[in-house]
Amino acid sequence: MSDAIVKIRGTRSGLQLSFAKDADYEAIEKEILQRFESGSSFFVTGTEVFVSKDSLPHEQIEKLKRLFHRRGMRFRTEKHAAAHAKGKEQQQDQRQPAKEAAKEPKPGKDTSTEPQVQQMVVINKTLRGGQEIQTESSVLVCGNVNPGAQIIAGGSIDIRGTCRGMVHAGAYGNSKAFIIADHLMPTQIRIANLIARSPDVVEKTDKAERASIKDGRIVIEPIER
């Protein structure tokens, strides 16, 4: 299919989509849906999809964005855009730039035009077994992270509850990232490229704890908050 309406190219960070010159939006969406249906190995959960923001009118870009988000994929229109959460939690996430935390989130607005703004994914519920969050930004969970749940964050992870799942901070190499939880008892902690397995017997701590990298090792220490 050399004259396809949707052209897909693999890039280092994911997929780049471009469209035939005069293709109308209906046809584009139809073809993408067909690829989804056919179980194409391109479009798997968590894949980052890049569409240049000049390639389609704004409202069509927004529609596409929703389409990919519903499938648990990340969507970018700028080369170094900020993160989007992935996976089943997609619809429920409230993404908001940390600096604007007090204001209402603006789901429609693509803050990726301000690459300096640190974003944070806020999860306002317990993450249960089988649920997964993956994002390039930091994550705040107001709830527990249960066994079998997983968080992979480019930045740090703050859990206002008990963490028993698998948590990976600094997943894209940031060794300054840290993990905080009211009760930190995960199956595994990863920061950047280091892995720490919890001891076979873990007591429930009364104090919040913080895991970070010190002298090339993951250390856990109690904190006040």
Partner 1 sequence: MSEVIVVTSGKGGVGKTTTTANLGVGLAMRGNKVVLVDTDTGLRNLDLLLGLENRIMYDLVDVISGRVAYKKALVRHKKFETLFLLPTSQVKDKSAVNPEQLVQLCEELRKEYDYILIDCPAGIEQGFQTAIAAADCAIVVTMPEISAVRDADKIIGELGRADKENIKLVVNRIRPQMVEKGDMLDMGDINDILSIECIGQVPDDELVVTSTNRGEPVITMENSHAGQAYRNIVGRICGEQIPFMEFPKEGFFAKLKRVFGR
**What is the torsional sign of CA 127, 40, 15, 13?**
positive
Q: Which of 200, 206, 215, 224 binds partner 1 (CB under 8 A)?
A: 200
- By CB under 8 A, tell whether 134 contacts partner 1: no
Q: Which residue has the tokens 């209402």?
A: 104
**59 is written with which tokens?**
């409202």
Q: 53 vs 128, which CB is nearer to partner 1?
A: 128
Q: Which of 60, 187, 192, 196 binds partner 1 (CB under 8 A)?
A: 187
Q: 56 vs 166, which CB is nearer to partner 1?
A: 166
Rounded least distance, CB 69 to partner 1, Å: 15
Rounded least distance, CB 81 to partner 1, Å: 27
Q: State the binding string over 72-111 for partner 1 (x if CB under 8 A, else -).
A: ----------------x-----------------------
Nearest 10 degrees: Cα torsion 150, 155, 156, 161: -40
Distance CA 189, CA 196 (A): 5
Distance CA 52, CA 146 (A): 38
